[in-house]
Amino acid sequence: MVEVECPLCSETVDLGSDSTGIYECPYCNEDFEFEREVSEDLVDLIHQIQEGKEECFVLYDHSHPPKITLLFALACILTSFLVMPLLVFIERVIYQFEEKYHRQIVFFHATYTLISYTISESGISYFNELDLSEEITITSEYDPGSDGGMISSSNEITIRDKNGNEIRFQDPEHRSNIIPFAKLMNCDIEGIGPYRYQRGSIEFKFNPEGRIGLY
């Protein structure tokens, strides 16, 4: 039992879980965000994972990419080579002031625990943990992106434990290890949404034999 005070109506709410996420207050029917406090033991564990001292299965690993972004791309297209160096300099200055982050989702087979955390320059900014010792479900919703390619395709992966607690992440270009993880857990990946049978979806890649002839 985890009881917190609703920040909107000040009533005491039993969350039923200590997982970080969005919860609905039963008194005012409004949503509020709850962030789990990270203990010193968890901080030490995350540091050991970062240093490679903890044996675990890395499901997802993503760092904030270098910020050579839209400004630089537009500079290449719309400006001359005389103006471009100035714009590149501005781009690098913006990058220096933007906070960088590193997110990982790792699985400990000995305890059947899945943890997700984000480390930024200011410390651990996000942490969540699931107990996968019993029931587990994995769903994937494919988004094909835009026709012009400005928005790339991606699969939104959701992993839920027996209590309905979940860890969710975006998996563009199949960069995660969700398929080996699903096989490790002997768990199907359920495709959801209108594009679940398209070739770029996790559903298609996880079970290609069942999709032959559809696209």
Predicted pLDDT of residue 156: 93
Q: Is the pLDDT of residue 94 over 60?
A: no
Domain spans of the chain? 3-34, 40-64+100-211
The string of pLDDT tens digits covering residues 132-181 is: 998 899 999 998 887 655 678 889 999 999 888 889 999 987 889 999 99
Strands of the 166-171 sheet, one edge to the other: 166-171, 154-161, 136-143, 189-192
CA angle 21, 6, 165 (to 5 degrees): 25
CA atoms 201, 203, 209, 212: torsion sign: negative
Coil, helix or strand at residue 22: strand
Coil, helix or strand at residue 37: coil
Q: How far is CA 96 from CA 91, 92, 101, 115, in A?
A: 9, 6, 13, 29
Q: Which comes out higher in pLDDT, residue 106 or 204?
A: 106
Predicted pLDDT of residue 92: 54
Q: How far apart are CA 80 and CA 58, in angstroms?
A: 44
Q: Is the pLDDT of residue 105 over 50?
A: yes
Q: Is the pLDDT of residue 63 over 60?
A: yes
